[in-house]
Amino acid sequence: MDTAKDRIIIFDTTLRDGEQSPGATLNIEEKLTIARALARLGVDVIEAGFPYASVGDFEAVQKVAAAVGTEDGPIICGLARATKADIKTAAEALKPAAKGRIHTFLATSDIHLEYKLRKTREEVLAIVPEMVAYAKSFVDDVEFSPEDAGRSDPEFLYQVLEAAIAAGATTVNIPDTVGYTTPSEFGALIRGIKENVPNIDRAIISVHGHNDLGLAVANFLEAVKNGARQLECTINGIGERAGNAALEELVMALHVRRQYFNPFLGRPAESTESLTNIDTKQIYKTSRLVSNLTGMTVQPNKAIVGANAFAHESGIHQDGVLKHKLTYEIMDAQSIGLTDNQIILGKHSGRNAFRTRLRELGYELTETELNKAFVRFKDIADKKKEISDWDIEAIVNDEIRQPPELFRLELVQVSCGDRARPTATVTIRTPEGEELTDAAIGTGPVDAVYKAINRVVNVPNELIEFSVQSVTGGIDAIGEVTIRLRHEDKVYSGHAANTDIIVASARAYIGALNRLYASLQAANQNQQVAAN
């Protein structure tokens, strides 16, 4: 394990904690796609999942370990509760990785001990070293987290951490599980650990935090100043409730303000060496990929990767930026990979040029996927004169990264206007191969389409989110539609892109319904197995 203490280790938990965002469930292929992007981004550790949680999670961790857990790739981590069954399962899933890490955890706050674990402090102090040592019997790299550390008694926390390190923990992670602490409090907590845990120099101090009060990134930066050297974060800050500390915000804060942070890491203030191993030019691309695959749209005013992050509406700001960028921009858009939208392909471009550009953008497609994407590219090229990199990414993510096609949209047609009642006709191929057509009237064209689809599919659901974004400027721009459905307290997302936003809306809805329908089928199969 890299134990360098003059830089910051980036631990990405997009595939584990990030996937716990409502509606953000990913299939194995989507997880592999994101894992490869994270490896290109340069993260030090990928927390690939919680192997004991389900067969699907186990398989995902195993496949990520095999695909990107190479000798020169990131550490692959699996989460495990402090139980032998969890730890052994995690170890099994991590076997294909050249560098595997088991991350085990047990709550230490009195409120968790009393109401969740129903254990005493003495019992916890006995369990922690036993389970860390058990994890150590499988891998050299073991991380321990005292869950809800932010609300734990510091004196008890020090005892638990000392016991974990003595048993072999190489990283101790301090989680603000409920996003409760403020920066000064969190900094003081890390400083207290540095000063009061006798063997702390034998482990890396890590931090994990949620953004319930909007303070996660600020808390982490204060933790860095007080000795934390690993930051657990997610792309776009996705995660449970209000999400996690955002990787892109942390990395760029450390990049832009490195002269401020250098002394806290024992470096000369004027050093220009990066504080992380992240290739910042991969940030924007990775953000877009995670947004597309999870169906979680990035808000326009989101720091670093939001659509407005480098936009200037004010005349005073525009004038200043035109004269000198640094008047109103503290970083260059190109530093996160947001380059000028250069046009490189058109309707006369061939398959080889298309394949080459996809590779340059970081996409490795199978021959079947390439063929599907190329057919879609030619179709879009007939409608748009100019095809940008953003358009190509939208095409690939829409055509290749769709959920299993149980219901297939064959036709959508709408009639609407200011003196007409919006009417939609759809034809859908069912999982059994039957083509069904129906029509409906709605309050608008999209509402009519969705009502018509519901009449055919007949799966109860509640539409809770509908958003449309333009991929590029121009009247012929591709529109990306993201929707989220709720069924029995579970959320399912759908995403699609098309130059016709009605078609994109229909495809996104079908995508979400396919995820919902697949979940219902899996639940029915599990019930049948249990009954037998």
CATH number of the domain located at residue range(s) 408-530 in this protein: 3.30.160.270
Nearby residues of 305 by Cβ (< 8 Å), 6 or more positions away: 236, 248, 283, 284, 287, 288, 298, 336
Question: 213: buried, middle or exposed (CB in 10 Å: 19+, 13-18, 0-12)?
Answer: middle
Q: Which of 371, 310, 403, 427 is nearest to 24 (CA)?
A: 403
**What pLDDT shows up at residue 339?**
65
Question: How many Å separate Cα 9 from the centre of its chain?
Answer: 18
**What pLDDT shows up at residue 477?**
81
User: By the 8 A CB rule, do 204 and 194 touch?
Assistant: no
Phi-psi region of 42 (alpha: psi -120 to 50; beta: other; left: phi over 0): left
**What pLDDT shows up at residue 524?**
80
**What pLDDT shows up at residue 2?**
44
**What pLDDT shows up at residue 1?**
40
Q: How far apart are CA 271 and CA 184, in angstroms?
A: 26
User: By the 8 A CB rule, do 65 and 48 touch?
Assistant: yes
| pLDDT (tens place) for every residue of the chain, 532 residues total | 444 568 999 999 999 999 888 767 788 888 998 999 999 999 999 999 999 999 989 999 999 999 999 999 999 999 999 999 999 999 999 999 999 999 999 999 999 998 898 999 999 999 999 999 999 999 999 999 999 998 899 999 999 999 999 999 999 999 998 899 999 999 999 999 999 999 999 999 999 999 999 999 999 999 999 999 999 999 999 999 999 999 999 999 999 999 999 999 999 999 999 999 999 999 998 998 898 788 788 888 999 998 788 764 444 443 444 444 555 467 888 898 876 544 457 767 788 888 888 877 767 788 888 888 888 888 888 877 677 777 887 787 777 666 667 999 999 999 999 889 999 999 999 999 999 999 999 999 999 999 999 999 999 999 998 988 887 667 678 888 988 899 988 888 888 888 899 999 999 999 999 989 988 887 787 777 667 6
As given in the structure block, the two tokens for residue 316 are 């005073």
CATH number of the domain located at residue range(s) 9-294 in this protein: 3.20.20.70
